[in-house]
Amino acid sequence: MIKEERLQVIIDTLEKDNKVRLDQLSQLLNVSEDTVRRDIKELDSQGLLKAVRGGAIAHSPIPAHYRDREKYNQPHKKAAAEKALQFLKDGQVVFFDGGTSIVALAAALPKELKITVVTNSFPVANVLEDHPNTEVIFAGGRLNKTAFTTMGQDTIDTFAKVRADICILGICSIHHTMGISSMIYEDAQIKKIMIDRAEKTIALSTLEKSNTVESYYICPVTDIDIIVTEADPTHPSLKVYTAMDIKVV
């Protein structure tokens, strides 16, 4: 099998399982593990996967730019957002990050709900502008034109000064051993601060983001208290998180 064919087999296998192992690919391709390792390194350099010890893991399937993400997989985001509403109560101070799943949650907030939302997301602030009973504290800073969020020290300082009841994150990538990760370095920094300053953290993550990884590490998955997806909590892909005593809904 020529090199180009091997690379395609690796990509095809990764698309099915979100991960590949050196030993399995070595047998499948009938080549040495060193050859597979070199192939994986080349695919990693092309941004097609993330090389890890013993194999590789898929990147998150979501688009990078907000304008593309806001239209992507909307029914699943809305389903997860509806599930997350049960954790919001009057009087809470809540962190909302800049994920498009969080925009769906903001749009679904009951009009009678009285909470304070601290966010660095322009779309979230825009949705909540007309909400009659939600106070909004906007974390200013430098505009990220890809994510439509603010970032930088001013943004970090705003979150650092608040003790939130709940932090609700839109997840880019989640993996039981590789943790929570992001495509953007500054986004990872801000999410880490939000988690550290909240009593409880809820991750909104559509099922396709499970068992994927990005370049910028945020925290171990055990820093998350609750994972909310569009899927049934008993889905096989979610069992690894329930086994780690993380609530899945």
CATH of the structural domain 3-57, one choice from 1.10.357.10, 1.10.3720.10, 1.10.10.10, 3.40.50.300: 1.10.10.10
What are the residue ranges spanned by the domains of the chain?
A: 3-57, 66-248
Confidence of residue 106 (pLDDT cuts 50, 70, 90): very high
Over residues 18-65, the pLDDT tens digits come to 778 888 888 888 889 899 889 888 888 887 777 888 888 877 666 656
Lowest mean pLDDT among 67-71, 146-150, 208-212, 227-231: 67-71
Residue reference for tokens 């505009």: 143
**Cα-Cα-Cα-Cα dihedral sign, residues 70, 73, 77, 79:** positive
CB-count burial class (<10 Å; 0-12, 13-18, 19+) for 159: buried
CB-count burial class (<10 Å; 0-12, 13-18, 19+) for 71: exposed
Topology (CATH) of 66-248: Rossmann fold (3.40.50)
